[in-house]
């Protein structure tokens, strides 16, 4: 009786175990189907934490929507090590990389400028294949990610980022694989934005999958390629400064005088690695309209009027007025000097040449004209009241204009300085 009971219990246990086994198997099958259904894109694999080996363009349950990241064959930061391609790990490994009759070509421009957005064309061809995919990244000479990759056509191309390495990747979408097409005639066009810096040589690394569109990972050819760009040496305005340098410094590469002050960028920059900032105001001379901060614009320090402020040196100290904070060398800073181009004759007056209304260092008909304009049409006031006071009676009025006319046209009395000290 005991033996029969034991046998009965054993049979019952086996039935229970069998039921659980079937239930587990069914659950596993359902989960497997769900995973396969859910895992049709790289984003879904990432969400599931799956690290699949397949990365082809013609497998409906794998990566027709784009390969996993880091499948470009690009060098890693560790010397002698490289990213895998879709030819590795049993994935599209029917043939050795680059062994087919096709090619994968990345075509950026030959050079770039800081902050420039450039177009990069990508082409993949193989005479025996029928579906197409790619992945690409861009690195500097130290194999570090550089600049920013941009998607131009979101229907055909997508972008991803590996946070750990900072590398960006552009790759095909399923709608960008040109299924059943005899070549990737449409290709892919993407963009790259250069950083606002001289980053030297940049290289685009990529891999292309020329697939046979059989829905499997066999019979496909993997091709790799790279193409480099260098910083442009163009000098659009022919001023001796490369466009790249001018852009980095905030200048206009299309103008030889970015701030329009009459002194060329090349002269005002000096050493591009440490551009001149004469007055220390954090604005380099090439962008500063008053280089010495003396209150007189650089263009107005062109005393001889030849359009070149660099050859005007009133006090002959070998420092042009536009860089000299005391233009006339009289010990009074130009910004506080009522007669900035003439040594003041005595305390309490700014008069150096009586009747010199416009303070240009001489008395002539222009001073008379300026005086008339002031009195009758509200023209500019004299910078030095004493100097404009041609008759020396300590005030400026119509009598000073008359005095000046008499001096110029009839040989009248020469102007004399007033003493108002204004």
HEC-encoded secondary structure of 278-318 = CCCCCCCHHHCCCCCCCCCCHHHHCCCCCCCHHHCCCCCCC
Residue 75, both tokens: 């060098």
- Measured between alpha carbons, how far is 29 from 35 in angstroms, rounded to an integer? 10
The verdict on 85 and 226 lying in the same domain is yes
The verdict on 296 and 349 lying in the same domain is no
**CB within 8 Å of 258: residues ≥ 6 apart:** 246, 251, 252, 265, 286, 287
Query: Which of 122, 52, 123 lies closest to 92 in space, CA to CA?
Result: 52
Helix (H, G, I), strand (E, B) or coil at 120: strand
Please check whether residue 13 lies inside any domain of the structure. no
Whether the CA torsion 306, 307, 313, 314 is positive or negative: it is positive
Where does 78-156 have alpha helices with state H?
none
- Measured between alpha carbons, how far is 301 from 375 in angstroms, rounded to an integer? 27
Residue 52, both tokens: 């699949």
Please check whether residue 330 lies inside any domain of the structure. no
The verdict on 211 and 239 lying in the same domain is no
Please check whether residue 28 lies inside any domain of the structure. no
Q: What is the CATH number of the domain that holds 194?
A: 2.60.40.4060
The verdict on 78 and 210 lying in the same domain is yes
Helix (H, G, I), strand (E, B) or coil at 181: coil
Please check whether residue 419 lies inside any domain of the structure. yes
- Measured between alpha carbons, how far is 58 from 133 in angstroms, rounded to an integer? 9
Give the pLDDT of residue 184.
56
Residue ending a domain, choose from 204, 231, 258: 231
Which H or E run includes 118? strand 117-125
Please check whether residue 344 lies inside any domain of the structure. yes
∠ Cα 285 289 293 (to 5°): 80
The verdict on 222 and 252 lying in the same domain is no
The verdict on 102 and 126 lying in the same domain is yes
Give the pLDDT of residue 34.
34
The verdict on 90 and 187 lying in the same domain is yes
401 φ, ψ (degrees, to nearest 5): -65, -45
Split into its structural domains, the chain has a count of 3
The verdict on 371 and 238 lying in the same domain is no
Specify whether the backbone of 238 is left (phi greater than 0), alpha (psi in -120 to 50) or beta. Answer: left
- Measured between alpha carbons, how far is 284 from 295 in angstroms, rounded to an integer? 17
Q: Token pair 């420092």 is at which residue?
A: 319
191 φ, ψ (degrees, to nearest 5): -135, 155
Under DSSP, the state recorded for 97 is T
First CA to last CA across the chain, in angstroms? 135
Residue ending a domain, choose from 325, 357, 377: 325
The verdict on 138 and 151 lying in the same domain is yes
Q: What is the CATH number of the domain that holds 396?
A: 1.10.1330.10
- Measured between alpha carbons, how far is 341 from 313 in angstroms, rounded to an integer? 10
Residue ending a domain, choose from 325, 353, 375: 325
The verdict on 263 and 349 lying in the same domain is no
Whether the CA torsion 241, 247, 249, 253 is positive or negative: it is positive
Q: What is the pLDDT along the chain (422 residues), one digit of tens a residue?
A: 433 334 444 544 444 444 444 444 434 333 343 333 333 333 333 322 323 344 555 543 345 678 899 999 999 999 899 999 988 867 888 999 999 999 999 999 999 999 999 999 999 999 989 999 999 999 999 999 999 999 999 999 999 999 999 999 999 999 999 988 876 567 999 999 999 999 999 999 999 999 999 988 899 999 999 999 999 999 999 999 999 999 999 999 999 999 999 999 999 999 999 999 999 999 999 999 999 999 999 999 998 999 999 999 999 999 999 999 999 898 888 888 766 777 765 445 566 677 777 877 788 898 889 889 888 988 888 777 777 777 777 778 888 888 888 888 888 877 776 654 44
Q: Token pair 């059989």 is at which residue?
A: 214
The verdict on 120 and 238 lying in the same domain is no
Please check whether residue 44 lies inside any domain of the structure. no
The verdict on 159 and 258 lying in the same domain is no
Please check whether residue 37 lies inside any domain of the structure. no
Please check whether residue 417 lies inside any domain of the structure. yes
Residue 240, both tokens: 């001796």
- What is the model's pTM? 0.66
Give the pLDDT of residue 7.
44
Tell me which residue range forms the domain holding 358: 338-422
Residue 44, both tokens: 């879904």
- Measured between alpha carbons, how far is 403 from 420 in angstroms, rounded to an integer? 18
Task: Please tell me the number of Cα atoms within 13 Å of 401 on its side-chain side.
Answer: 13
């Amino acid at each position: 009786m005991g033996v029969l009971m034991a046998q009965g219990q054993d049979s019952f246990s086996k039935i229970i175990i069998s039921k659980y086994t079937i239930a587990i198997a069914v659950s596993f099958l359902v989960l497997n189907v769900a995973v396969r259904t859910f895992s049709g894109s790289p984003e879904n694999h990432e969400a599931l934490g799956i690290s699949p080996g397949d990365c082809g363009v013609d497998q409906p349950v794998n990566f027709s929507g784009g390969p996993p990241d880091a499948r470009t064959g690009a060098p890693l930061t560790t010397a002698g090590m490289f990213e895998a391609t879709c030819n590795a790990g049993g994935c599209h490994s029917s043939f050795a990389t680059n062994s087919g009759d096709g090619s994968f070509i990345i075509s950026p421009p030959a050079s770039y400028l800081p902050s420039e957005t450039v177009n990069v064309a990508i082409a993949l061809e193989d005479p025996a294949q029928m579906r197409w995919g790619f992945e690409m990244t861009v690195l500097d000479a130290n194999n570090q990610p550089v600049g920013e990759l941009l998607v131009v056509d979101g229907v055909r191309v997508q972008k991803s980022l590996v946070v750990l390495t900072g590398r960006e990747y552009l790759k095909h979408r399923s709608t960008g694989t040109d299924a059943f097409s005899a070549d990737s005639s449409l290709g892919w066009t993407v963009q790259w934005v250069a950083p606002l810096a001289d980053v030297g040589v940049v290289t685009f690394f990529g891999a292309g999958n020329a697939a046979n569109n059989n829905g499997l990972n066999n019979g496909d050819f993997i091709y790799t390629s790279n193409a480099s760009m260098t910083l442009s040496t163009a000098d659009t305005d022919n001023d001796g400064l490369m466009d790249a340098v001018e852009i980095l410094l905030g200048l206009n590469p299309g103008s030889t005088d970015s701030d329009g002050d009459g002194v060329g960028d090349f002269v005002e920059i000096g050493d591009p690695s440490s551009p001149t900032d004469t007055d220390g105001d954090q604005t380099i001379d090439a962008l500063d309209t008053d280089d010495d901060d003396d209150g007189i614009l650089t263009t107005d320090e062109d005393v001889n009027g030849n359009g070149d402020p660099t050859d005007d040196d009133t006090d002959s100290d070998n420092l042009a007025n536009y860089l000299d904070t005391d233009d006339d060398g009289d010990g009074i800073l130009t910004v506080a000097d009522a007669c900035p181009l003439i040594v003041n004759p005595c305390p309490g007056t700014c008069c150096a040449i009586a009747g010199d209304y416009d303070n240009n260092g001489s008395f002539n008909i222009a001073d008379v004209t300026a005086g008339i304009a002031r009195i009758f049409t509200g023209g500019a006031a004299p910078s030095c009241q004493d100097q404009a006071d041609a008759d020396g009676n300590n005030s400026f009025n119509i009598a000073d204009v008359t005095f000046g006319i008499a001096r110029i046209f009839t040989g009248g009395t020469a102007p004399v300085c007033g003493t108002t000290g204004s």
